[in-house]
Amino acid sequence: MNETELVKIAIEARQEAYAPYSGFGVGTAILCEDGRVFTGANVENAVYGLSLCAERVAATKAVSEGCRRFKSIAIIADGPTPCPPCGACRQFLAEFGVETLVIMANTNGDVRKAKLKDLLPLAFTKEQFLNE
């Protein structure tokens, strides 16, 4: 699957965003190393701290289905610039590979790409925790 296809899947996933408070719908698609794709959309809550970002929704779906290594993730939102993952999502995604390619896009067609390790330098990973 190429990057353009992954962004298109994220665009479709964004249609399911539940963002009644911010109005900022986000969609994402994760390509696992085994070729499977998992999608997510943000889910807000009246208690804002309980809201879930699209990236963590897709990642938990992937992990719950046995995927432990992410090849790439596409993230899309309607903003003036491509949508990067928040800090919490960067750390969450790092658990499954800092080499993951992050494809950030907006609904205007702007795209930016970076490796997760470049978006989260010196990430705390299981290798440090487990002394591996």
Catalytically active residues, by annotation? 55
Fill in the DSSP letter of residue 50. Answer: G
Give me the sheet containing 26-32, strands edge to edge.
37-41, 26-32, 70-77, 101-106, 111-115
CA dist 107 to 5, 15, 82, Å?
15, 12, 8
Q: Which region, left, alpha or beta, applies to residue 122 given φ > 0 means left and ψ of -120 to 50 means alpha?
A: left
Q: Which residue has the tokens 């440090």?
A: 128
